[in-house]
Structure 1
Amino acid sequence: MERTGTILRGPEFDPIEGRVVVDDEGRIAAIEEESVESDDIILPAFVNAHTHIGDSIAKEAGGGLSLEELVAPPDGLKHRLLRAADRDELVSAMRRSLSFMEQAGTAACLDFREGDVEGVRMLEDAADGLEVDALSFARGSVDAMRAGDGFGASGANDSEFGDERAATREAGKPFGIHAGEVDESDIDPALDLEPDFLVHMVHPEPRHLERIADQEVPIVVCPRSNLVTDVGLSPYAELAERTTLALGTDNVMLNSPSMFREMEFLAKLSALPADEILRMATLNGAEIADLEYGLLEPGREARLLVLDGDSDNLAGARDPVRAVVRRAGVDDVREVVYGVGGDGERND
C-alpha cells in the first residue's frame, strides 16, 4: 500500500513531496521523495493524550456550573448523570465519541476511566470493531489498572495514591495524575509520586517549574477545557521550555474530542510554533503511552492521516504545517490509515 502527496516527515514535520510505502505488516517501509500529482497532505494520525469520554451522555449539560459542580465526586453533575444511566446507554454514547475521533483522524486516546474494572470493560465494548485505540487509564482500584492500560489518578488532594503508584511500576504501566488544575496545592504531592505524566498544570509556581524540569515529567495540557471551566490557562511557553507537552481534549461533556479544534485554539492563544503544537498532538502523546506511531519514519507503525490539500479550506496554503494546525478540520479528512487491514476512506 502507498499514499502520495506532501508528507510531513519526521519529528520536525519536514514537508516533502513523494510517497509513503506501507508493508504487509502495517509498518512504514519507505518514504520516497519524488514528484507526484497528488495534492494530499499526509501526517501522523493524532494521539489525544487526555479524555473523559464516559461523559458522552452529558454533552453540553453543564452550562454555567463551576468545575467542582460539574465533576467533583460524588455529587457533581457528571456523577449524577452517570449513576442515572444504564450500561447500554453509556457504552453507546462512548462509542459515538470514539467513532467521531476515528473520523477526525485520531489513532488513540488516553482515557481516564471511571468505574473500576467494569468501567474498563465498558470502554472495551465501546471500542469493539473500531480502529481507534481507546486506552484505559483506569481508576478505582489496582485491579482496574491491571485490567486496563495504566492508572489515571484524579488528584493528589483526593488520595495519597501510593499503593496505586507502586502497583503501576510493578505492572510496567504508566501512571498519570491531574495536578495544578484549580490551584497549586496538589502539585508537589503529585510530583512526589514520580508520575509518568501530569495533566493540566495551570497553576505552577517557579519552584514547581524547576521540579518539573528536574524530573523531566511530561505534561498534557487541555486549553479548551481549562477555559470553559474558568480555571485559567497553563503557562505553555514556560512549560515547553522545561519538559515535553502533549495535547488532550479532556471532558466530552465540555468539548468535542477534536484534535483539530484543540490545535487551532492553542495556536491562536499561545506563542507556541505550529510544529511544536503538531508534535503535542501526535508524537508526544504517543510517547507517553509507549505507542509505536505518532511519527512518519520508516519502521514506525503506519497510522496516517490524509488530508485533501485541494479542499476549499486548504487550497493555496503556503505552509502545510501551519495549515494543518491552524486551519484544517474534519471536513478536510480524506482518509485515515490504520495499518494492516485498517485503512478506510471516511464515510460522509
Structure 2
Amino acid sequence: MSDRRTIEGTILRGKEFEATEGRVIVADGQIAGIEEEPVESDDIVVPAFVNAHTHIGDSIAKEAGEGLDLDELVAPPDGLKHRLLREASHEETVAAMERSLSFMEGSGTAACIGFREGGVEGVRAMAEAVEGLDIESVTLGREEIEAMEAADGFGASGARDGEFGRERTATREAGKLFGIHAGERDPDDINGALDLDPDFLVHMVHPERIHLERVADRDVPIVVCPRSNLVTGVGTPDIAELAEHTTVALGTDNVMLNSPSMFREMEFAAKLSEVSARYVLKMATHHGAEIADLNCGVIEEDRDARLFVLDGDSDNLTGYQNPVRAVVRRAGIDDVREVVLETPD
C-alpha cells in the first residue's frame, strides 16, 4: 500500500516559486501531485534548501581564530583549521559534524555539497556523521585521488595551491563532480581554475571581465558564500553581475566562521545584492541541486519529497504580504513547523 500524505498551505511551486494555495501530495518519497484549491492554513510550503558549499569538518572549531586573516584561518596545510583538524580525534570530528548536519536538517536543508579534508579517512568520517540522518551529503574528497574515489567527487583548494591536473582527469574519468575555489582573495587563480574545466567554482569575489566571459562561454556555475567572504575580509561577491553570466548557487562555507544556516545566508545575500528575493531562493534551492544532479530543490510532480513548512502565523511572519520575500528576508529556524526529507525507496 502506498505511503501517502498531504501538506497544506501556500505552496511555492515550481522553479519560479508561484504562490499556490492548496495541497502537496506526497507518496512513496516523491511529490505525487499538487492540488490547487482554498485551504484553512497559513503555512508556507517551501522546497528544501541545498547548501552548495560547506566545510563541515570545521565543526570542531566554531568561532576559533578571532583576528586571523584568510590564510591564517584556512590555508593548507598549516592554517588554524587544518591544525585543529589534525589534533582532533576521529570520534570528536564525527560527533561535531553530526551536530552541524542535524542543525542543517532541522532548518530545512535537504543536502549539502561538502569539501572534506583528511583524505580517505575524512570522507569516511563524513559518511559516518551523516549515517542515520535524512540530510544528504554530496562529499568531495580532497588532498588525494583516493579520497575522490571514496567520495562523490573532488574539491580543490585553488589553482595557486597546485595544478590539480591529475585529480581533474581522474575525477572526469570517474564521472564525478569537480569543484574548485577561485577568485576568493584576488583574481590571480581564476584562469588556472577555469583551465581545469570544473563543474563549478566557489567564491568568485574578484572576477575580471575576461573571467566572466570565460565563465559564460563554458556555462560554469558559481557558488557564492557572502557571509564567509565578509568575515575573512576578502570583500563580497557581486551576485547580480555573476548572475548575468551564469547560474549562481548559495553556500555557507566554513562552519568555524558561520552557522550553516541557509536562512541567514539568504537574508544576507538578499540585502547585500541587487538580485531579487526570488533569485536568492533559486540560489538556495534548485541551483545547488542542479550542480549536484539532485532531484530536489523544486516542488513539482516527480521530484523527491524534500521540503519544509513554515508557520505563516508565527509572531515573526504573521502579516507577510509577499511569501517569497518573507521566506528569504525574514524567516528563520524558529518559524519552521515541519521538515519533510523523503526519497523514493
Task: Give the alignment's TM-score, normalised by structure 1.
Answer: 0.97
Query: Percent same amino acid at aligned positions?
Result: 70
Which of 16, 25, 33 in structure 1 is aligned with 2:20? 16
Which residue identity lines up with residue 12 of structure 1 in the other structure?
E
User: Structure 1 240/4 Cα, relative in aligned 2: closer, same or farther at 3 Å?
Assistant: same
Asked if 1:238 is matched to 2:241, the reply is: yes
Partner residue, 1:314: 317
Q: Secondary structure at the match of 2:268?
A: helix
Give 1:341 deviation, angstroms: 9.2
Shift of residue 84, structure 1, vs aligned partner: 1.3
Q: In the aligned structure 1, how far is the partner of 2:34 from the partner of 2:322?
A: 20
Tell me the C-alpha RMSD between the 2 structures. Answer: 1.1
CA contact (8 A) 2:304 2:344 kept: no
1:126 aligns to 2:125 (yes or no): no
Structure 2: unaligned runs, 5 residues or longer: none
Alignment of 1:55-134 (within 5 A): 55-134=58-137
Q: How does 1:277-292 map to 2 (within 5 A)?
A: 277-292=280-295
Distance (Å, rounded) in 2 between the aligned partners of 1:131 and 1:66: 35
Aligned partner of 2:178 among 165, 169, 175: 175
Distance change (3 Å), C-alpha of 1:340 and 1:270: closer
Aligned-partner residue type, residue 237 of structure 2: S
Confirm whether residue 54 of structure 1 aligns to residue 57 of structure 2. yes
Task: Give the secondary-structure state (helix, strand or coil) at the position aligned to 1:118.
Answer: helix
How much does 1:124 deviate? 0.6
Match of 2:326 in 1: 323
What's the CA shift for 1:340? Answer: 5.3
Listed one character per residue, the Cα deviations across residues 210-229 of structure 1 (whole Å, up to 9, x for unaligned) are: 11111110000000000000
| Paired position in structure 2 for 1:188 | 191
Residues 256-288 of structure 1, C-alpha deviation per residue, up to 9 Å, x if partnerless? Answer: 000000000011111110010000000000000
SS of the equivalent of 1:157 reads: helix
How far 1:134 sits from its partner (Å)? 1.5
Separation of aligned partners in 1, 2:94 and 2:222:
29
How many residues end up aligned between the 2 structures? 341
Query: So what's the TM-score if we normalise by structure 2?
Result: 0.97
For structure 1, the 5+ residue unaligned runs are: 343-348
Could you give the per-residue CA deviations for residues 11-57 of structure 1, whole angstroms, max 9, x where no partner exists? 11000000000112x11110110010011100110000000010111
- Map Cα deviations across residues 268-327 of structure 1 (whole Å, 9 max, x no partner): 111110010000000000000000001011011110111111101011100000000000
- Which deviates more from structure 2 when the two are superposed, residues 102-111 or residues 159-168? 159-168
The residue identity in structure 1 corresponding to 2:285 is T
> After superposition, where does 1:16-55 map in structure 2 within 5 Å?
16-24=20-28, 26-55=29-58
Deviation at 1:331, TM superposition (A): 0.2
Aligned residue number for residue 228 of structure 1: 231
